[in-house]
Amino acid sequence: MYVPGAPDSESKSAAWIEADGRGLRLATDVSDAAARLVRATDHAARLAEPGADAALVRDIDLAILGRDALRFMEYEYGVSEEYSCMPQWKLVRGRRRFLAGILASPAIYRTPHFRERYEAKAKANLTALLGSPRYSRRWCWGW
């Protein structure tokens, strides 16, 4: 359940999973676990310590940030298309804040595998993107 720009997509999706789990008569612990994993992809929530399974799901969700530059930019432009209903300056400003927040964290990835494989490249990609004209402060703030 995803609506571009909505701040509660993950929580609504998690609630949907829980409701479907009840409707399908799944064991509560199974649907609760699935809902927890969906909530873990809400990077704005900044969960303190999400647990091993949730850490892995979060890392998978952010793996694109550490891919080669071409694939990373394909993803970035895909995000722009997804949010095309939003004014460009608003998208750029919000996206800049989000990406800068990820970059400012001590480690982007929580699991050793993802940290070893993607951390350096993700930081390089984010640094280059945030330093590009696309995300210049002048453009982001509508000057």
Residues 66 and 102 in one domain: yes
Residues 35 and 54 in one domain: no
Residues 72 and 103 in one domain: yes
State pLDDT tens for residues 101-143.
Answer: 999 999 999 999 999 999 999 999 999 999 998 887 655 555 4
**pLDDT tops 50 at residue 22:** yes
- The per-residue b/e assignment along 118-138, b for 16 or more CB within 10 angstroms, e otherwise, is beeebbebbeebbeeebbeee
Q: What is the pTM of this model?
A: 0.75
Residues 22 and 81 in one domain: no
In the chain, the number of structural domains is: 2
Residues 77 and 122 in one domain: yes
Backbone angles phi, psi at 98, to 5 degrees: -60, -50
Residues 108 and 133 in one domain: yes
Residues 36 and 56 in one domain: no
Residues 104 and 60 in one domain: yes
* Domain region containing 82: 49-140
Residues 82 and 21 in one domain: no
| Pick from 60, 122, 136: nearest CA to 92 | 136
Residues 23 and 67 in one domain: no
Residues 77 and 133 in one domain: yes
State pLDDT tens for residues 61-71.
Answer: 899 999 999 99
Residues 21 and 55 in one domain: no
State pLDDT tens for residues 71-85.
Answer: 999 999 999 998 888
pLDDT of residue 52: 84
